[in-house]
């Protein structure tokens, strides 16, 4: 349980610490304050994970979910920083907006969960596939190095370390059994880090410079401030986050063979939104389910929510001990990238498995999947596609998971619910070479006449 929980932390650590580092740098925080903000995000991610996995009353999906800072909020938070005259007020304004958005989302969770009836396998399979595909560029970015502006970004050294880590994980999964097979990703990260030491890629300075104990003092950067524009912006982010969390719960429900129903989704959304509302009290940001950990569950087949709760305990401890938090930060980004290819690819594979059950022999379903996938990968393949849209709209449009999910739901309603759908239409495909014209196609035509 301990090692598997630590493996979950290792898989999502970079995603948790990146948003506070980006926002903190924009505000102009010192190195010490950045460390504090990062620790606070780890601490609040642990609390939100406890809410999601263990649950209290009707709060928490009680699924093996890891919660952490959502990337969807980074762009609007940077916009808030840019529009705040006194940068010292930026974080309090952000925290106030997140508190309001979290409380409103908590109240809306039961209504939002009713949308589950619009998520049949053709929709959920498409969304799960998009989650995996959308995460893969993150792994590819990690594999190229920590700094895109550096001259050695994408060097053969970094790519080799990522490749070695990937090969180690694959070999362990193929040729080992039992416990060692289950912690293959964690072992791969350790081996990859050790191999990176002679290349000078591994940086141990975060460990030597970190304090042993540190508590995230409530409202360390000042009491929350409530600005209408900031609140509206973060409410939009909350809707995006709830959409992605719904898709994630549906995906994980399929993987653990416990399909997420309306009640489960409502409880899960309450955990997400309440965790987000509480987070700013300890200087944390908006929380959401982490899709990358779904891949870890799919690959290891360890489905216990208590294992993930153990990972939440590690997050809390790292938030209380900067030294502990800095240990995983030693793992080089290229090593994380190599492991991420396996994790995120597993999510996409799970989506494909769900699509197999969706009845793709039907024309309607093929069109739903085709168009939804195309819409969902626009932000990946053409990042500037929506550059002319308002910033508020881009928050939603730049999330391929959200746009693909909305497209799949709407197309499913149009093709399979409105009026009498042509569900009996089989996929029209070209004949294979050598097929007889008088074969099955002619027989069907004769039957129709």
**Band of pLDDT at residue 116, cut at 50, 70 and 90:** low
Give the closest residue to 376 by CA, choosing from 354, 411, 349, 403: 403
Q: Please give the Cα distance from 278 to 40 (Å, whole number).
A: 12
Q: Please give the Cα distance from 303 to 323 (Å, whole number).
A: 30
Q: Please give the Cα distance from 53 to 305 (Å, whole number).
A: 6
Whether 30 has a pLDDT exceeding 80, the answer reads no
The model carries a pTM of 0.67
**Band of pLDDT at residue 420, cut at 50, 70 and 90:** low
For 122, 228, 240, 364, 365, the CA distances from 361, given in Å and listed in that order, are 12, 49, 32, 9, 8
pLDDT of residue 437: 41
Give the closest residue to 291 by CA, choosing from 243, 329, 328: 243
b/e code 208-223 from CB counts within 10 Å (16+ = b)? eebeeebebeeeebee
| 3-class SS letters over the chain | CHHHHHHHHHHHHHHHHHHHHHHHHHHCCCHHHHHHHHHHHHHHHHHHHHHHHCCECCECCCCCCCEEECHHHHHHHHHHHHHCCCHHHHHHHHHHHHHHHHHHHHHHHHHHHHHHHHCCHHHHHHHHHHHHHHHHHHHHHHHHCCCCCCCCCCCHHHHHHHHHHHHHHHHHHHHCCHHHHHCHHHHHHHHHHHHHHHHCCCCCHHHHHCCCCCCCCCCCCCCCCCCHHHHHHHHHHHHHHHHHHHHHHHHHHHHCCCCCCHHHHHHHHHHHHHHHHHHHHHCCCCEEECCHHHHHHHHHCCCCHHHHHHHHHHHHHHHHCHHHHHHHCCCCHHHHHHHHHHHHHHHHHHHHHHHHCCCCCEHHHHHHHHHHHHHHCHHHHCCCCCCCCCHHHHHHHCCHHHHHHHHHHHHHHHHHCCCCCCCCCECCCCCCCCCCCCCHHHHHHHHHC
Is-contact 289 60, C-beta < 8 A?
no
Question: What are the structure tokens assigned to 195, written together?
Answer: 């191999």
Is-contact 269 105, C-beta < 8 A?
yes
Q: Lowest mean pLDDT: which of 40-49, 229-238, 333-342?
A: 229-238
CB atoms within 10 A of CB 118: 14
CB atoms within 10 A of CB 321: 19
Whether 195 has a pLDDT exceeding 90, the answer reads yes
Q: In this predicted model, which residue has the larger pLDDT, 96 or 66?
A: 96
Q: Please give the Cα distance from 13 to 165 (Å, whole number).
A: 17
pLDDT of residue 261: 82
Question: What are the structure tokens assigned to 354, written together?
Answer: 């769900």
Q: For residue range 201-226, list pLDDT tens digits in order.
A: 887 777 777 777 777 888 888 889 99
Is-contact 199 161, C-beta < 8 A?
yes
Averaged confidence pLDDT in the chain: 81
**Band of pLDDT at residue 144, cut at 50, 70 and 90:** very high
pLDDT of residue 448: 41
Question: What are the structure tokens assigned to 417, written together?
Answer: 């619910």
CB atoms within 10 A of CB 396: 18
**Band of pLDDT at residue 179, cut at 50, 70 and 90:** low
Question: What are the structure tokens assigned to 428, written together?
Answer: 């029209």
Helix axes 305-320, 2-27, angle to 10 degrees: 50
Is-contact 226 96, C-beta < 8 A?
yes
Is-contact 145 152, C-beta < 8 A?
yes
Q: Lowest mean pLDDT: which of 196-200, 243-247, 394-398?
A: 394-398
For 91, 190, 304, 405, the CA distances from 82, given in Å and listed in that order, are 12, 39, 43, 31
202: Cβ contacts below 8 Å, ≥ 6 apart: 193, 196, 330, 332
For the chain, give the number of residues. 449
């Amino acid at each position: 349980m301990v090692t598997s929980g630590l493996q979950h932390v290792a898989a999502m650590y970079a995603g948790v610490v990146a948003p506070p580092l980006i926002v903190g740098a924009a505000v102009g925080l010192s190195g010490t304050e950045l460390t504090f903000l990062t620790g606070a995000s780890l601490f609040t991610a642990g609390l939100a994970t406890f809410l999601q996995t263990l649950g209290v009353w009707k709060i928490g999906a009680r699924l093996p979910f890891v919660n952490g800072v959502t990337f969807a909020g980074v762009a609007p938070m940077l916009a808030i920083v840019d529009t705040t005259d006194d940068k010292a007020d930026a974080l309090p304004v952000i925290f106030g907006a997140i508190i309001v958005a979290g409380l409103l989302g908590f109240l809306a969770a039961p209504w939002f969960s009713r949308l589950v009836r619009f998520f049949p396998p053709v929709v959920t399979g498409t969304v799960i596939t998009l989650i995996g595909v959308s995460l893969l560029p993150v792994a590819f970015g990690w594999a190229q190095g920590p700094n895109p502006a550096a001259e050695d970004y994408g060097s053969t050294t970094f790519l080799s370390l990522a490749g070695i880590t990937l090969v180690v994980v694959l070999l362990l999964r193929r040729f080992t059994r039992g416990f060692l097979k289950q912690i293959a990703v964690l072992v791969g990260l350790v081996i990859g880090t050790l191999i990176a030491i002679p290349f000078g890629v591994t940086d141990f300075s975060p460990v030597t410079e970190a304090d042993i104990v540190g508590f995230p003092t409530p409202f360390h950067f000042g009491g929350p401030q409530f600005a209408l524009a900031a609140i509206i912006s973060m409410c939009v982010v909350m809707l995006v986050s709830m959409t992605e969390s719904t898709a994630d719960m549906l995906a994980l429900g399929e993987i653990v063979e416990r399909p997420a129903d309306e009640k489960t989704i409502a409880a899960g959304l309450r955990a997400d939104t309440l965790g987000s509302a509480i987070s700013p009290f300890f200087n944390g940001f908006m929380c959401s389910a982490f899709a990358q950990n779904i891949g870890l569950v799919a690959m290891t087949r360890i489905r216990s929510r208590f294992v993930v709760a153990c990972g939440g305990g590690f997050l809390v401890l790292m938030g209380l001990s900067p030294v502990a938090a800095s240990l995983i930060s030693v793992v080089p980004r290229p090593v994380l990238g190599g492991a991420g290819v396996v994790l995120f690819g597993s999510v996409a594979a799970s989506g494909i498995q769900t699509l197999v059950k969706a009845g793709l022999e039907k024309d309607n379903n093929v069109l739903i999947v085709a168009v939804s996938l195309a819409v969902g990968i626009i932000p990946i393949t053409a990042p500037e596609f929506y550059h002319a849209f308002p910033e508020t709209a881009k928050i939603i449009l730049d999330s391929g998971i959200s746009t693909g999910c909305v497209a799949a739901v709407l197309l499913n309603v149009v093709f399979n619910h409105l009026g009498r759908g042509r569900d009996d239409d089989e996929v029209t495909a070209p004949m294979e070479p050598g097929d007889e014209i008088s074969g099955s196609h002619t027989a069907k035509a004769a039957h129709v006449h």
